[in-house]
Amino acid sequence: MLLAYILLVLAVAGTLSSWTFLVLALAGTAKFHRDAKAQRRQAQSIPNEALPPVSLLKPVHGMESRLRENIESFFHLDYPDYEILFAADLEDNQALGVVREICARYPQVPTQIVVTGRPPWPNPPAYAFFRMAERARNNILVTSDSDVLVDPSYLRDIVPPLLDPKNGMLTCVYRGKNAGGFWSGVHAIGMSVEMTAGVVTANMLEGMKFGLGPTIVVRRDALEKIGGFSVLGDYFANDFVIGNLIEKNGYNVVLSRHIIDHVVSPLSFVRVWQHEVRWAKSTRLSRPWGHLFSGLIYAMPFGILGFASALALGRIWLGIALLALAIANRVIESWAIGWGITRDRASRSLWLYPLRDLLGFFVWCASYLGTPRAIWRNVPYDLTSDGRIALRGGQPQSQTPK
């Protein structure tokens, strides 16, 4: 009985903390929409001839789901002057065939292909960005992943805030786009809702002090002030580090109103689990206190715990109320964030995000288990206490898809 009462108290406390976070996330959502209106007015006030030329930096890592569609979307941008640079480790990378075919069909868009060789740094994308930045001819650099799909308005939306020299970097939240499979869909809605809720809440409470990997826009002067892409070579979460360093050097990091699609390849439960635990461990090392308290934002585990402990105490209606509050919490967050911001149709489901919430909690728990290690692009890494990575046993880089 004593244990049941302790668990019930824990469940009630967790329910209160998850609703507190939801209120903060809704306030962050309101701020996001206010900022979006201001960004839209600014973008509309700038004529095309005043827009600076842009260099898009895009590493490729082999054949991925919808790779052709993703890459081709960058050739349809409604922007007056931009170039695209692609980078691969080796010449025989399968993605380069797709890249060359698309480049040949759009000769009006200036392109370059950089074959970097095996990266000497633990973080391969950071090395690819470093090599492409050396060849880029413009001072506005846009880094994006190969699994990103964009609208024609992409550059027209994300570049204008960087016309203000106080803004050194911009990043975008993203919508998970499921390319097929149940667990891929669970993973995707985590991007649309869970990730976005955390980002807009952080932006409201302390401002943006990090980046989000699918799109980062940086002014070259801000990049050079932190030491260039080379300072990211030893870090796992290079998107977090670049934003953190730019903010510490006196620049603003802007959260864009533009929403991009992050395509999620068909994944098994094991692959989803490995991927999410890997990133959770990295977040724990990069932001230890923030990650620790993020365990209080989940609702479904506390709702289920409350239902079970109340049932054991003969308080069935209290248990039903706690479980109902948890489900309502997640449905409200899914609609307000997943539909209200990212416009993900899957977020309107009444059961998908509650299930995702349970998975997220178990991933959070797993991030504290075992040694801080990870498998990235089929290569084993050790994670250090300051967020750096090192190849385990000095093994070479893999050329397989990420």
CB 169 within 8 A of CB 218: yes
CB 256 within 8 A of CB 171: yes
pLDDT at 54: 98
CB 29 within 8 A of CB 336: yes
Q: Please tell me whether residue 299 adopts helix, strand or coil conformation.
A: coil
Model's pTM, two decimal places?
Answer: 0.90
DSSP label of 176: E
Question: Which of these, 297, 296, 299, 318, lies nearest to 307 by C-alpha position?
Answer: 318
Kindly list the distances between the CA atom of residue 215 and the CA atoms of 55, 57, 169, 322, 373, in Å, as whole numbers in the listed order: 13, 10, 10, 39, 26
Task: Give kind and range of the element (H or E) at residue 308.
Answer: helix 300-312
- CB atoms under 10 Å from CB of 288, counted, come to 12
CB neighbour list of residue 129: distance below 8 Å, 6 or more residues apart? 57, 59, 87, 143, 229, 232
Helix residue spans in 136-287 (DSSP H): 154-158, 182-189, 196-206, 220-225, 238-248, 269-286
Question: Which of these, 358, 186, 167, 202, lies nearest to 286 by C-alpha position?
Answer: 202
The CA distance from 312 to 131, in Å, is: 61
The CA distance from 146 to 99, in Å, is: 11
- CB atoms under 10 Å from CB of 89, counted, come to 22
pLDDT at 218: 98
In a 10 Å sphere around its CB, with 0-12 CB exposed, 13-18 middle and 19+ buried, how is residue 1 labelled?
exposed
pLDDT at 279: 84
- CB atoms under 10 Å from CB of 5, counted, come to 12
Tokens of 12: 């009630």
**Which residues partner with 382 through β-bridges?**
373, 390
Question: Which of these, 221, 214, 212, lies nearest to 243 by C-alpha position?
Answer: 212
pLDDT at 401: 35
pLDDT at 399: 38
DSSP label of 191: I
What backbone phi and psi angles, to 5 degrees, belong to 84?
-125, 130
- One-letter amino acid at 34 equals R
CB neighbour list of residue 302: distance below 8 Å, 6 or more residues apart? 10, 11, 13, 14, 15, 17, 18, 322, 326
Kindly list the distances between the CA atom of residue 97 and the CA atoms of 69, 104, 129, in Å, as whole numbers in the listed order: 14, 11, 20
pLDDT at 47: 94
pLDDT at 376: 58
Which stretches of the chain drop beneath a pLDDT of 70?
A: 371-379, 385-387, 390-402
CB neighbour list of residue 350: distance below 8 Å, 6 or more residues apart? 331
pLDDT at 372: 66
Tokens of 302: 């506390």
pLDDT at 393: 57
pLDDT at 396: 42
The CA distance from 319 to 314, in Å, is: 9
